[in-house]
């Protein structure tokens, strides 16, 4: 048989070139300036201060240049400011047809670049021993907002985004578009965040004369600053909504409630007119501060896989507050004793918890003397009860231990724009019992009555603002603790796995900034 012809050797195929990759332009970094009345921890009254610090830090992590402008209060925590120095000493801010001389200081607040404005005036705007609570607060912050804009203009700063907060700085976009843009400051866009619609800065025409917005007939137009209900008043928050390029609140649910369910305190028509530039972004919490794995204020660190450490912190909490060491669940409340937070239901939670075989811990105080006095009376009533402790006041170190050592946290708010309490509680494996309102409804998924998968459920929710509603949720939480401890522990782990850092809201705000930059 003849030998077969060898097969012809195939030529090696040419190596295929990879398809051309699309050229993806990296997102350019932005220059963002926050103009704010508060900043944690140097000038903190409420959650606004935490938001500005946390968001500012997240934006910097994402490669943006962030600066923060706030008043130079005499009551600031100067021990948290590094390298404070006067850097601008010739700022003259228009005021009542004249001008007030101001100095500007610069310093770092835990890495944030901050400018502090100090007016030299007989009005003594910011040397009063407190941030708020004075008869001329509207004029104090109207001046501060004008001073911040004048500083940006005189120092040649042209940020991409000016982000202002609440009624105190709501005049910033008004100043920008009515005064500084015609002078040539055409680059910045404004994001205005409303942390609470209840306080709006309603005032008379005098503030227009003071600030240089000297056309009352123009600004008293309904489409600009005139209050929706009082034709003889202007509304600073309304001005912020009208003039800003985008308006946010601190949760999607609260944004809807303010616009459509009567929680806009009279601004509902304005929100409907400007609905295309309006939305909600849930606040984050700083996981460098609120994190049981690294928290310096708790004796034993723990995480999802080492949750047993939480029980050592529970014992430490009992030891510190002289509570009986037993198998009962600890139900807690941490926060302001304010009508917004549900004073009546906080009180009822105390009595109901004790009646259901639990222990109750309260840490908080009220600026209202009558409310404070009432809770002092409760404290005396339960002074010798081994299952109850009321701490009237606020102690940051103790707050960390309460979050770590409690089993259940009640947040029975009348209304709640976002709420940080439930977010912190979940990080520490403490099960939130919340009313279905605002940011509470956006972040807490009921264990028993939700269509979400079991591994996504993280707490207990009730709808009606009454004692029966509270009992419906708190009762289920306590019953689960006693009757189904394995289920309760899984619920704790579910809560701890949620990411309520600034990562997601940081991206949401970057998207908003990009959106208004393109306008």
Tokens 């949760």 sit at which residue? 251
Q: At what angle do helices 47-61 and 503-517 cross, to 10 degrees?
A: 80
The confidence score (pLDDT) of residue 501 equals 94
Q: At what angle do helices 485-497 and 467-483 cross, to 10 degrees?
A: 110
The confidence score (pLDDT) of residue 518 equals 80
* Angle in degrees, CA 514, 516, 518, rounded to 5: 70
Feature table: binding site: 44
The average pLDDT across 214-220 equals 93
Band of pLDDT at residue 25, cut at 50, 70 and 90:
low
Phi and psi based region of residue 392 (left: phi greater than 0; alpha: psi -120 to 50; beta: remaining): beta
* Strand arrangement of the beta sheet that strand 161-165 belongs to: 82-95, 98-109, 112-120, 65-71, 31-35, 161-165, 189-194, 246-249, 278-280
Judged against a pLDDT cut of 70, whether residue 19 lies above it is answered with no
Return the minimum-mean-pLDDT range out of 195-199, 394-398, 512-516.
Answer: 394-398
Band of pLDDT at residue 20, cut at 50, 70 and 90:
low
Judged against a pLDDT cut of 80, whether residue 7 lies above it is answered with no
Judged against a pLDDT cut of 80, whether residue 14 lies above it is answered with no
Mean pLDDT over each residue of the chain, to the nearest integer: 93
The average pLDDT across 280-294 equals 93
Question: What DSSP string describes 136-186?
Answer: THHHHHHHHHHHHHHHHHHTT---SEEEEETGGGTHHHHHIIIIITTTT--
Burial class (CB in 10 A: 0-12, 13-18, 19+), 235: buried
Within 13 Å and on the Cβ side, how many CA atoms surround 496?
Answer: 22
The average pLDDT across 505-512 equals 96
The average pLDDT across 29-53 equals 94
Judged against a pLDDT cut of 70, whether residue 9 lies above it is answered with no
Dihedral angle at the C-alpha atoms of 486, 487, 489, 492, nearest 10 degrees?
Answer: 180
Highest-confidence segment of 1-5, 24-28, 370-374: 370-374
Higher pLDDT, 1 or 414: 414
The confidence score (pLDDT) of residue 201 equals 96
Higher pLDDT, 319 or 2: 319
Judged against a pLDDT cut of 60, whether residue 8 lies above it is answered with no
Q: How far is CA 366 from the centre of its chain?
A: 19
Judged against a pLDDT cut of 90, whether residue 17 lies above it is answered with no
Q: At what angle do helices 343-355 and 467-483 cross, to 10 degrees?
A: 40
Residues in CB range of 110: below 8 A, 6 or more apart: 41, 53, 80
Judged against a pLDDT cut of 80, whether residue 3 lies above it is answered with no
Strand (E) positions, 349-505? Answer: 359-364, 388-392, 408-411, 431-435, 460-462
The average pLDDT across 126-142 equals 95
Feature table: binding site for ADP-alpha-D-glucose: 44
Domains of the chain listed by start with CATH number: 31-284+507-517 (3.40.50.2000), 304-497 (3.40.50.2000)
Return the minimum-mean-pLDDT range out of 19-23, 281-285, 373-377, 390-394.
Answer: 19-23
- For 66, the token pair is 């962030």
Judged against a pLDDT cut of 50, whether residue 10 lies above it is answered with no
Band of pLDDT at residue 12, cut at 50, 70 and 90:
very low
The average pLDDT across 291-295 equals 97
Q: pTM of the prediction?
A: 0.88
């Amino acid at each position: 048989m003849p030998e077969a012809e060898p097969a012809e050797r195939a030529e090696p195929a040419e190596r295929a070139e990879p398809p051309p990759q699309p050229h993806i332009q990296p997102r350019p970094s932005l220059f963002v300036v926050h103009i704010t009345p508060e900043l944690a921890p140097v000038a903190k009254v409420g959650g606004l201060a935490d938001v500005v610090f946390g968001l500012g830090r997240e934006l910097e992590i994402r490669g943006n240049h962030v600066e923060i402008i706030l008043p130079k209060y005499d009551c600031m925590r100067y021990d948290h400011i590094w390298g404070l120095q006067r850097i601008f000493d010739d700022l003259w801010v228009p005021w009542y047809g004249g001008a007030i001389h101001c100095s500007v200081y610069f310093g770092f607040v835990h890495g944030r670049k901050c400018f502090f404005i100090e007016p030299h005036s007989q009005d003594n705007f910011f040397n009063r021993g407190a941030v708020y609570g004075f008869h001329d607060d509207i004029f104090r912050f109207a001046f501060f907002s004008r001073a911040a804009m004048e500083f940006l203009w005189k120092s040649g700063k042209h940020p991409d985004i000016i982000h202002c907060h609440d009624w105190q700085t709501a005049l910033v976009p008004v100043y920008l578009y009515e005064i500084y843009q015609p002078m040539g400051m055409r680059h910045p866009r404004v994001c205005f965040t409303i942390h609470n619609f209840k306080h709006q800065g309603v005032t008379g025409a005098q503030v227009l004369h003071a600030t240089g917005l000297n056309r009352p007939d123009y600004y008293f137009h309904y489409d600009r600053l005139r209050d929706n209900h009082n034709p003889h008043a202007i509304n600073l928050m309304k001005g912020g909504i009208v003039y800003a390029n985008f308006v946010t609140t601190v949760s999607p649910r609260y944004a809807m409630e303010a616009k459509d369910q009567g929680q806009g305190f009279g601004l509902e028509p304005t929100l409907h007119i400007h609905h295309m530039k309006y939305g909600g972004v849930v606040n984050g919490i700083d996981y460098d501060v609120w994190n049981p794995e690294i928290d310096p204020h708790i004796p034993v660190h723990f995480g999802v896989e080492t949750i047993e450490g939480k029980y050592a912190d529970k014992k430490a909490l009992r030891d510190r507050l002289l509570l009986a060491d037993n198998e009962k669940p600890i139900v807690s409340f941490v926060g302001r004793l304010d009508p917004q937070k549900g004073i009546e239901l906080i009180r009822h939670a105390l009595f109901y918890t004790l009646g259901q075989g639990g222990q109750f811990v309260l840490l908080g105080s009220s600026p209202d003397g009558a409310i404070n006095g009432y809770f002092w009376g409760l404290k005396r009533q339960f002074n010798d009860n081994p299952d109850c402790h009321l701490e009237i006041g606020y102690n940051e170190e103790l707050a960390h231990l309460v979050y770590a050592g409690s089993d259940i946290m009640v947040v029975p708010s009348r209304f709640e724009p976002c709420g940080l309490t439930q977010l912190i509680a979940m990080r520490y494996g403490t099960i939130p019992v919340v009313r279905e309102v605002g940011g509470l409804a956006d972040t807490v998924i009921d264990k028993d009555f939700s269509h979400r998968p079991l591994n996504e459920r993280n707490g207990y929710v009730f709808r009606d603002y009454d004692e029966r509603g509270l009992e419906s949720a708190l009762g289920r939480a306590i019953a689960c603790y006693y009757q189904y401890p394995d289920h309760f522990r899984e619920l704790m782990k579910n809560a701890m796995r949620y990411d309520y850092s600034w990562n997601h809201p940081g991206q949401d705000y970057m998207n908003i900034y990009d959106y208004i930059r393109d306008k």
